[in-house]
């Protein structure tokens, strides 16, 4: 008897290469590829909360649909609550299995538990978002790791990263009796969801992802170790959205980069960044409360302010008008391109939480809204790290000086010039500290502080002291 399997693509696995659920289904017989437009993400009000991710997702979905069709299958798109619809479809289509790739987030695990309750062992989850199943690595005493270097050492010691599976050359036709009684839907357009396309975003889809991977492997990868922190250079892979939406499997990225560059320091540095990603996912798996609480208990109840309490400062940070050029460049890169360089993310997040004393969760939500690579585990880890309250975080008493960071990692000021054009004429010497520039330098560069470009919204030294004092008081006596 031939088996019939629904392969449920869920938005973090939008590829055919190294897709473990699809490979499993193919071995067994009939395959029905499905994508569910769940109102959790696709209701208009929800979609408006993720404009850039939605654009990348819809492009990737359209590309996936074309790839499935070109191999003899087709993507069936249906709309409804997945917890109700997926079990109903499995029955209506007489599928003996529904297979999907695992997600690590608590809300996703709850969704999966409900589907498992309805379908029992007809529902099977496969790995693919991470290199190892989340929660695999344990300390000697059986606990989850809380220190990255130990996690990474354990990974290198124990993990065998498998060889990625090739994309199938051909796929079986979707059986004639499907979709049965369920009305099919087209992949929605951005406009239908009330969103305007942003031409500055990366292009979605597995082909575009592979081109990016190849370009990185043949180009910047060789100098990644020294170039990755330069905000003014294109020295990183730009694969984060592909890893988020699964247009590339992390196993494929690991495999190709290790083969090509594993012997070099740059190659090892890159693999280590993939392990930071792995660490973030594994940590969220083991500690689901992290999406709502700080990792370091001592930070519970920390007197961070809400955006509503300090609306002018919040507006300055989100719009890129703080008077600190590199912080402002980061804010504007986010809004225009849906991306921010990692170094700039760290500086901007540190500034919001330590200089402006605004809650990291407000920054986290703002980033989640506009980042194309916005990912719950990664973004939460990045924000908690920057605020000093996360798992193996930057110690709270390290407060980035945005001016020095800019001078060090954007030495010519080109990163600032690209996103803060009002400062473009300033010489490199003053571009990260316009408030220190002599009047004639400002005049020649056509900059009037407080008019075209704001004066700093806080004084660095005072803000630093204020944060340190507050943190010292708050953490005093905290049991950790
Ligand atoms: C405040 C803050 C928020 C962040 N939010 C996200 C997010 O929502 N989604 C996201 O993918 N990354 C996030 N990061 C991590 C990092 O900034 C991005 O992964 C990276 O900038 C993406 O660019 P890239 O693909 O060119 O990275 P590369 O330098 O080429 O690195 C390759 C891959 O390794 C992983 N990686 C790199 N740096 C880190 C890191 N510091 N932590 C964890 N994984 C890393 C990413 O998957 C990345 O694509 C955040 C960092 C901070 C400080």
In this prediction, residues 443-451 reach a mean pLDDT of: 95
Closest to 66 measured CA to CA, from 58, 102, 212, 21: 58
- Per-residue pLDDT tens for 271-321? 999 999 999 999 999 999 999 999 999 999 999 999 999 999 999 999 999
Mutate to test the pocket of ligand 1, among 373, 393, 400 (most ligand atoms within 8 A of CB): 373
- Per-residue pLDDT tens for 80-114? 999 999 999 999 999 999 999 999 999 999 999 99
Q: Position of tokens 């196993």?
A: 251
Q: Taking a C-beta distance cutoff of 8 angstroms, is the pair 411, 417 a contact?
A: no
Mutate to test the pocket of ligand 1, among 12, 342, 377, 383 (most ligand atoms within 8 A of CB): 342
CA of 225 to the centre of ligand 1 (A): 15
Task: Give, using CA atoms, the residue closest to atom 51 of ligand 1.
Answer: 382
* Domain covering 297-474, topology: DNA Cyclobutane Dipyrimidine Photolyase, subunit A; domain 3 (1.10.579)
pLDDT band of residue 394 (cuts 50, 70, 90) is confident
pLDDT band of residue 456 (cuts 50, 70, 90) is very high
Q: CA-to-CA distance for 386 and 380, rounded, in angstroms?
A: 10
Q: CA-to-CA distance for 323 and 312, rounded, in angstroms?
A: 13
Q: CA-to-CA distance for 67 and 70, rounded, in angstroms?
A: 5
Residue 185 pLDDT: 85
CA of 163 to the centre of ligand 1 (A): 24
**Across the strands, what pairs with 30?**
4
Task: Give, using CA atoms, the residue closest to atom 31 of ligand 1.
Answer: 273
Residue 416 has pLDDT above 70, yes or no: yes
CA of 342 to the centre of ligand 1 (A): 6
In this prediction, residues 431-452 reach a mean pLDDT of: 96
pLDDT band of residue 2 (cuts 50, 70, 90) is confident
The class (CATH top level) of 3-129 is alpha beta
Residue 181 pLDDT: 59
Q: Taking a C-beta distance cutoff of 8 angstroms, is the pair 354, 398 a contact?
A: no
**Mean pLDDT estimate for the chain:** 96
Atom of ligand 1 nearest to the CA of 280: 43
CA of 56 to the centre of ligand 1 (A): 17
Residue 22 has pLDDT above 90, yes or no: yes
Q: CA-to-CA distance for 77 and 81, rounded, in angstroms?
A: 13
Residue 478 pLDDT: 72
Specify the CATH architecture of the domain 130-164+207-286. Alpha Horseshoe (1.25)
CA of 288 to the centre of ligand 1 (A): 20
Task: List residues near ligand 1 (CB under 6 A).
Answer: 228, 236-240, 243-244, 273-274, 276-277, 280, 342, 345-346, 349, 367, 371, 373-375, 378-379, 382-383, 386
Domain boundaries, the chain: 3-129, 130-164+207-286, 297-474
DSSP for 17-53 reads TT-HHHHHHHHHEEEEEEEEE-HHHHSHHHHTT-HHH
CA of 349 to the centre of ligand 1 (A): 13
Residue 18 has pLDDT above 90, yes or no: yes
Q: CA-to-CA distance for 10 and 452, rounded, in angstroms?
A: 45
Residue 179 pLDDT: 74
| Terminal-residue alpha carbon distance, the chain | 58
CA of 240 to the centre of ligand 1 (A): 6
In this prediction, residues 9-23 reach a mean pLDDT of: 98
CA of 124 to the centre of ligand 1 (A): 29
Task: Give, using CA atoms, the residue closest to atom 30 of ligand 1.
Answer: 237
Task: Give, using CA atoms, the residue closest to atom 23 of ligand 1.
Answer: 238
Residue 182 pLDDT: 66
pTM: 0.97
CA of 107 to the centre of ligand 1 (A): 22
Task: Give, using CA atoms, the residue closest to atom 39 of ligand 1.
Answer: 273
Residue 184 pLDDT: 76
Residue 438 pLDDT: 97
Atom of ligand 1 nearest to the CA of 216: 30
């Amino acid at each position: 008897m031939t088996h019939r399997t629904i392969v449920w693509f869920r938005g973090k696995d939008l590829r055919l290469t190294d897709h473990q659920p699809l490979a499993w289904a193919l071995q067994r017989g009939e395959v029905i590829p499905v994508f569910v437009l769940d109102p959790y993400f696709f209701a208009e009000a929800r979609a408006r909360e993720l404009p850039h991710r939605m654009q990348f997702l819809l492009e990737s979905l359209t590309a996936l649909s074309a790839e499935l069709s070109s191999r003899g299958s087709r993507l069936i798109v249906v709309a409804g609550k997945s917890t109700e619809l997926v079990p109903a479809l499995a029955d209506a289509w007489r599928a003996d299995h529904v297979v999907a790739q695992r997600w690590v987030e608590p809300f996703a695990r709850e969704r999966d538990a409900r589907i498992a309750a309805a379908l029992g062992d007809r529902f099977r989850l496969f790995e693919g978002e991470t290199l190892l199943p989340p929660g695999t690595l344990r300390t000697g005493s059986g606990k989850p790791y809380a220190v990255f270097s130990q996690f990474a050492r354990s990974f290198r010691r124990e993990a065998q990263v498998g060889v990625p599976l090739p994309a199938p050359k051909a796929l079986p036709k979707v059986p004639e009796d499907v979709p049965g009684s369920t009305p099919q839907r087209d992949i929605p357009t951005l406009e239908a969801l009330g969103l305007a396309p942003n031409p500055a975003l990366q292009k979605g889809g597995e082909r575009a992802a592979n081109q990016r991977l190849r370009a990185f492997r043949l180009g910047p990868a060789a100098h990644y170790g020294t170039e990755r922190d330069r905000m003014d250079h294109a020295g990183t892979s730009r694969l984060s959205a592909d890893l988020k939406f699964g247009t590339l499997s992390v196993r494929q990225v690991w495999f190709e980069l290790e083969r090509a560059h594993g012997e070099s320091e740059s190659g090892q540095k890159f693999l280590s960044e993939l392990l930071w990603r792995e660490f973030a996912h594994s940590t969220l798996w083991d500690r689901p409360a992290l999406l709502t609480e700080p990792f370091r208990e001592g930070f519970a109840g920390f007197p961070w302010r809400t955006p509503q309490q300090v609306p002018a400062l919040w507006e300055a940070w989100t719009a890129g008008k703080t008077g600190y050029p590199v912080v402002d460049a980061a804010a504007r890169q986010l809004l225009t391109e849906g991306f921010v360089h990692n170094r700039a993310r760290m500086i901007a997040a540190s500034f919001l939480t330590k200089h402006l004393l605004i809650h990291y969760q407000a920054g986290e939500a703002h980033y989640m809204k506009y980042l194309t690579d916005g990912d719950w585990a990664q973004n939460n880890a990045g924000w908690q790290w920057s605020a000093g309250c996360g798992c193996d975080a930057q110690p709270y008493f390290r407060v980035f000086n945005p001016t020095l960071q800019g001078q060090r990692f954007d030495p010519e000021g080109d990163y600032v010039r690209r996103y803060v054009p009002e400062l473009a004429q300033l010489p490199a010497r003053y571009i990260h500290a316009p408030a220190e520039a002599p009047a004639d330098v400002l005049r020649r560069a056509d900059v009037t502080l407080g008019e075209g470009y704001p004066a700093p919204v806080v004084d660095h030294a005072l803000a630093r002291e204020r944060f340190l004092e507050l943190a010292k008081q708050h953490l005093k006596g905290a049991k950790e």
